[in-house]
Amino acid sequence: MYEGIHKLIHPEWTSLAFLSQSQGILSGFADWIVSSEGILNMVDFLNTWGLIAIGLGLILGLFTRIAAIAGTVLLMLYYLMNPPWIGLETSAAMEGNYLVVNKTLIEAVTLLLLTAFPAARAWGLDSMLKFNRKKS
């Protein structure tokens, strides 16, 4: 079930390479995902459609707080599976030399900050929902 639907977006994509290289705190969780093709397909499906839902929520300003929290959780999973810490060798190409902070951590913190500030409630579709609730 999971294999067919998300493969329409990018048929060759899978999280297998990323999860196989995991050396972080969550490497055991990554190993468990890779151990079963069914679980891997489900994770690929959830990752693909989760990114689409989070992105649409943030772009449209609809359910922004929920999208930002979900994005933060997803990015922290990515970060904790493959952190840029000293002593961890990685075969993945990196965009620079990192000690602790990389772009994934910066994006996660930015999304976390987005949950604290009411920007979407002022300019996004959330503002229309808020306006309609006040009228009722």
- Reported as half-sphere exposure (CB side, CA atoms, 13 A), residue 22 has a value of 21
Q: Which two tokens stand for residue 25?
A: 């705190």
The pLDDT of residue 90: 61
Residue 109 has pLDDT above 90, yes or no: yes
The pLDDT of residue 10: 61
Confirm if 81 and 18 have CB atoms less than 8 A apart: yes
CA angle, 114 as apex, 111 and 115 as ends, to 5°? 100
Residue 1 has pLDDT above 50, yes or no: no
Residue 125 has pLDDT above 80, yes or no: yes
The pLDDT of residue 50: 95
Q: Is the pTM of this model over 0.85?
A: no
The pLDDT of residue 30: 94
Q: What is the pLDDT of residues 30-89, one digit of tens each?
A: 999 999 999 999 999 999 999 999 999 999 988 999 999 999 999 999 999 988 877 766
Q: Which two tokens stand for residue 75?
A: 């990015």
CA 7 to chain centre: 18
Residue 133 has pLDDT above 60, yes or no: no
Domain boundaries in the chain?
Answer: 2-87+96-135
